Amino acid sequence: MSRKKSLLIGINYTGSQNELHGCHQDVENVAQFLSYRGYSDDPRSQVILRDDLGGNYNPTGHNILAAIDWLVSEPNTVNFLHYSGHGGQVQDPTGNHPSGVLDTICPVDFQSNGQIDSDMLHKHVVRNLAPNSSLFVILDCCHSGSALELPLVYRGDDDGNVNLVDNIKQGVHLLGEANDLIQGGSFNLGEAQDLYAGATSFFRSFKHMGDQQSSGLQDGGFQENVGEQKMVTMFSGCRDDQTSADANIQGTSEGAMSWAFLETMKRNPNPTYIETLTDTRACLKQSEYTQVPQLSVGENFDLNQPLVL
């Protein structure tokens, strides 16, 4: 049986103007859920970062990245990462992203030491995942849809339908349009450059890999390193342009996404990926939360198979 590891991060920003109320409770709820799913709470297997803890367990930017590096470091492991706190957006320093911004998570010291953007998260979470390992991620924060820069994104709508946003294919399409502008009779350099800039964002993942010879497109998805069996799955609390609610559920403060995911798992302990996505959205809608959770994956696979945790 594969070794299981988990990292749970909850930040209430206590005493600040950015204070939240439910993130510590989210960590407690998820820890309890994981114990039923065979995860150990032994310090060798589970790390909890909260801003009511001190030292190495205070969720500063440095400690968060160090804990993520610990989580993904061992081959042949099953890993779980949960983050509950603020999410934000910062300007893209490369200028390659069409929107001009990158999704972020906000460590407890973000005002003094900055946010952790999606480029950095992709490097530490996705690229550094050890061979023959899986990682399941829940990000319960605002603007979290693209926080890991995974190429395939699934969104559920209010009617229970699931739509695929294939970032790789969109990138190829944009590059094709740019080439058509250059080769066509009505050449517009500015428009072509805009399309190329847009396309580069969809291939941002390949830049992280360092060795493009070891990467490739397969079935509309991608592999970080061919031959290394890695599986990264992320459920995010909302789309890039949405916020996630700090909710009050029956008198208890907790994140709406974390609550809805756990409620979904209680009702159906062995759901498929699609069922998890649609049922979590339905749970949020029934409680009048407008945020739309998303499922992002690193490669194309059958979403009708049972959820792997």
Residues identified as active-site: 86, 142
CA 166 to CA 243: how far, in whole Å?
23
- What are the Cα distances from residue 245, in Å, to 77, 84, 293, 297? 32, 11, 12, 24
Tell me the C-alpha to C-alpha distance, in Å, between residue 79 and each of 200, 285, 300: 30, 29, 20
Alpha-carbon distance of 293 to 291, in angstroms, equals 6
Using the structure block, give the residue that is written with the tokens 């945790």.
309
Q: Of 145, 137, 122, give the one whose Cα is nearest residue 244.
A: 145
E strands in 51-157: 77-84, 87-91, 101-105, 116-117, 133-140, 152-156
DSSP line for 234-270? EEESS-TT----EEEETTEEEEHHHHHHHHHHHH-SS
What is the distance between the terminal CA atoms of the chain, rounded to a whole angstrom?
A: 13
List C-alpha distances in Å: 85 to 21, 114, 181, 244, 251: 10, 15, 44, 9, 19
Residue 205: enclosing H or E segment and its boundaries? Answer: helix 204-209
